[in-house]
Amino acid sequence: MTAKFTPRVFSGIQPSGGLTLGNYLGAMKRFVQMQDAGSHETVYCMVDLHAITVWQDPATLARATRELCAGFIASGIDPEKSILINQSQVPEHAQLAWVFNCVARMGWLNRMTQFKDKAGKNRENASVGLFAYPALMAADILIYHATHVPVGEDQKQHLELTRDIAAKFNNDFGVDFFPITEPVIEGAATRVMSLRDGSKKMSKSDPSDQSRINMTDSTDMIAQKIRKARTDPDALPSEAKGLEGRAEASNLINIYAAFADMSVDAVLAEVGGKQFSEFKPMLADLAVAKLSPISTEMARLMEQPDEIDAILARGAVRAREITAPILKQTYEIVGMVGA
Ligand code: TYM
């Protein structure tokens, strides 16, 4: 089904709050690998329209968008190799989202766990945008006819919905127009957990700053957070089976494996038998060695906001060469006069 489509990767990150280690290991690092593999065209996006589904202070949003752009580049996204964009600068995302609002069913969106989590008890007071969020996400992906979407585990349900929307559109209009996109949820860090509670996802919205590593944390702060991370009293096992029921230990091993580009088994073969008092400094050293060049480069780029804006403006022009014809064809299929 997807054979006729150009192999193309799309993924996005919200510019709300700062980047966390979960974003880096679960998404950004893998975006760079897919870019460098060269087997796909790659399009990466700051999703500012998604961010405003909950309240954002305007000045903070603008700064977070530029900081996220700096984070992409500092992590290794090359704006010549990849198309790097800010969502609101490519209007076809929002235009296709409207069509998808009319394809997606209320029942489908009602089942989205992220909406339930974010809306909380006070659903009546959630924005309409928060409810329609997954239809915009489907539009982000399908306006490029993207075939592959690298994400962390928490986005899986949204990607299933994207497939449902593509299939329903194709079926309703009797076309084979949108690809049925493949989620790419791979590696040791598809679900990085809180450092304070191994049953909770590491998240920028967690009230405790100790629960996460931020990409802008200082070297000392990173080391301190890892030293204080919650663990159990046992030594590390030598095989993955020994991590069962040990959420905090698993999380730290997964983080190590993702940073070191090793399998969990290979890490355990090295560190099995060690106490956390010995393992945590190893992990802290590795994390600092990998993250501090990125945060230094982010800070340098943030001193040149005009350069960032120019990169995003160029990205938008390149993106629209893909998105404008796909929107036009969509409108023609739907029957819009003048498309
Ligand atoms: P967002 O901004 O919450 O997160 C961006 C990416 O980071 C991943 N991630 C994690 N991975 C592992 N462990 C964690 N603790 C962790 N926290 C976050 C997310 O899975 C995601 O891949 N709805 C999306 C943004 C989006 C999008 C898209 C993604 C909008 N349109 C189109 C892909 C394709 C979101 O809120 O991601």
Q: pLDDT at residue 31 above 90?
A: yes
What are the tens digits of pLDDT across the range 119-147?
A: 998 899 999 999 999 999 999 999 999 99
Alpha carbon of residue 183 to chain centroid: 12
> What's the token pair of residue 326?
């796909």
Q: What's residue 63's pLDDT?
A: 97
Q: What's residue 3's pLDDT?
A: 59
What are the tens digits of pLDDT across the range 233-244?
A: 999 999 999 999
The ligand 1 atom nearest the CA atom of 204? 17
Q: What's residue 293's pLDDT?
A: 97
The Cα-based distances of 52 to 117, 204, 238 in angstroms read: 16, 15, 46
- Higher-pLDDT residue of 120 and 50 is 50
The residues with which 8 forms a beta bridge, in sequence order, are: 41
Among the listed residues 29, 201, 225, 280, the single catalytic one is: 201
For range 90-107, the mean pLDDT: 98
In the reported structure, the alpha carbon of residue 271 is separated from the centroid of ligand 1 by a whole-number distance in angstroms of 30
Share of the chain above pLDDT 90, in %: 97
Our answer to whether residue 118 is catalytic in this structure is: yes
CA dist., res. 337 & res. 203, Å (int): 45
CA dist., res. 304 & res. 31, Å (int): 24
For range 166-176, the mean pLDDT: 98
Q: What's residue 134's pLDDT?
A: 98
For range 49-77, the mean pLDDT: 98
Let me know how long the chain is: 339
What are the tens digits of pLDDT across the range 173-220?
A: 999 999 999 999 999 999 999 999 999 999 999 999 999 999 999 999
Helix (H, G, I), strand (E, B) or coil at 5: coil
Our answer to whether residue 204 is catalytic in this structure is: yes
For range 287-291, the mean pLDDT: 97
The ligand 1 atom nearest the CA atom of 151? 22
- Expressed in angstroms, the distance from the first to the final Cα of the chain is 26
Evaluate whether 11 touches 68 at the Cβ level (below 8 Å): no
Dihedral of alpha carbons 122, 126, 128, 134, sign: negative
Q: What's residue 2's pLDDT?
A: 47
In the reported structure, the alpha carbon of residue 109 is separated from the centroid of ligand 1 by a whole-number distance in angstroms of 18
CA dist., res. 279 & res. 11, Å (int): 33
For range 221-228, the mean pLDDT: 97
What's the predicted TM-score (pTM) here?
Answer: 0.97
Among the listed residues 81, 156, 200, 204, the single catalytic one is: 204
For helices 247-260 and 276-302, give the axis angle rounded to 10 degrees: 50
Task: Report which of 80, 81, 84 is spatially closest to residue 72, judged by C-alpha positions.
Answer: 84
Q: pLDDT at residue 4 above 90?
A: no
Our answer to whether residue 156 is catalytic in this structure is: no
Type of residue found at 97: A
Evaluate whether 8 touches 40 at the Cβ level (below 8 Å): yes
- Would the CB of 16 count as within 6 Å of ligand 1? no
For helices 58-75 and 305-334, give the axis angle rounded to 10 degrees: 100
Q: pLDDT at residue 225 above 70?
A: yes
